[in-house]
Amino acid sequence: METILSVNNISKRYGKIQAVDDLSLEVKRGQVFGILGPNGSGKTTTLSIILELIKSNKGNFHWFGEPPSKESRKRIGSVIESPNFYPYLSPVNNLKIVAEIKDFDYADIERVLKLTGLYERRNSRFKTFSFGMKQRLAVASALLGNPDVMILDEPTNGLDPQGIAHIRELILLIASQGTTIIIASHLLDEVQKICTHVAVLDKGRKLFDGKVSEVLAVSDSFELSALNIETLKQTVALHPAFVSLIPIGEMILVYFKEDIQPAELNQFFFQKDVILSHLSERKRSLEQHFLELLEDNK
């Protein structure tokens, strides 16, 4: 799979503050890549560096396998700051100005307005738009020229639940058409629902990167029950990966130090002459994994 972006050991310092610390990332074509972290973790600084809005103190990055250039920038659409358009102009006229700046044809304006659900309001003044509609117009401006990559910094920040849902659906729609998306967010739910891959940052350092599905596939615990609950407790303690258990009524909640498959666990008890009456796998949430990483980085 083609590498769209490779970030190699970039660092950025503002006085005593290390905003980005020896960061390396790789984004492949077709991914929805989430950069997740609390406020101040270095997300926006990282996006600003790869968009050449600021310079790193160390390291480098490549777009489409080559150093950044005017040609590569034309293949990238971005929304980094709050929507900022002329308030008395319509979406069409605002986008004409953007098209002039980017040297794109006006013919693409109708497409991006339809894609973002703003076509019916194409002649309304920008000042009459809700914040969610303004955010969608910002996405529309970034979509001009049909870029290969979309970069979005906290795209649902400040939106109400309906606005968040609209932006989420729009991002998924854009991704389904083959656009690679890089999104920075501090919202775990947003990343879990939208992204295929995630990198977790804290204090400018990368703590983890990988597939979201792999994080969610890790078993955090199992609910178990058997006819003789005391025998069950004694037997599960013999498992080599056993960590601890918590009694819950007629069941026990068991934690293991490594990923265990349900079939493997069932076979273990069967070989010990314990027949399970209940076995339920509890998956680790992205939130649990995220909080564990932050705790380990203290």
Q: Has residue 234 been placed in a domain?
A: yes
pLDDT of residue 261: 86
Residue 10 amino acid letter: I
pLDDT of residue 221: 80
pLDDT of residue 178: 92
Task: Examine the pLDDT at 218 and tell me if it is beyond 60.
Answer: no
Q: Has residue 55 been placed in a domain?
A: yes
Q: Has residue 119 been placed in a domain?
A: no
Q: Has residue 149 been placed in a domain?
A: no
pLDDT of residue 219: 58
pLDDT in tens, 102-138: 888 899 999 999 999 999 999 999 999 998 999 999 9
Residue with the bigger pLDDT between 2 and 295: it is: 2
Q: Has residue 246 been placed in a domain?
A: yes
Query: How confident is the model over 16-38, as a mean pLDDT?
Result: 93
Q: How many domains does the chain have?
A: 2
pLDDT in tens, 181-208: 999 988 888 888 899 999 989 889 998 8
> Ramachandran region of residue 204, left (φ > 0), alpha (ψ -120 to 50) or beta?
left
pLDDT of residue 298: 64
Task: Examine the pLDDT at 292 and tell me if it is beyond 90.
Answer: no
Query: How confident is the model over 56-61, as a mean pLDDT?
Result: 95
**pLDDT band at 284, cuts 50/70/90?**
low
Residue 34, domain CATH: 3.40.50.300
Residues 257, 278: Cα–Cα separation, whole Å: 21
**pLDDT band at 270, cuts 50/70/90?**
very high
- For residue 227, the enclosing domain spans 217-296
Percent of the chain past pLDDT 90, that is, above it, reads: 61
Cβ–Cβ < 8 Å for 153, 43: yes
Task: Examine the pLDDT at 62 and tell me if it is beyond 60.
Answer: yes
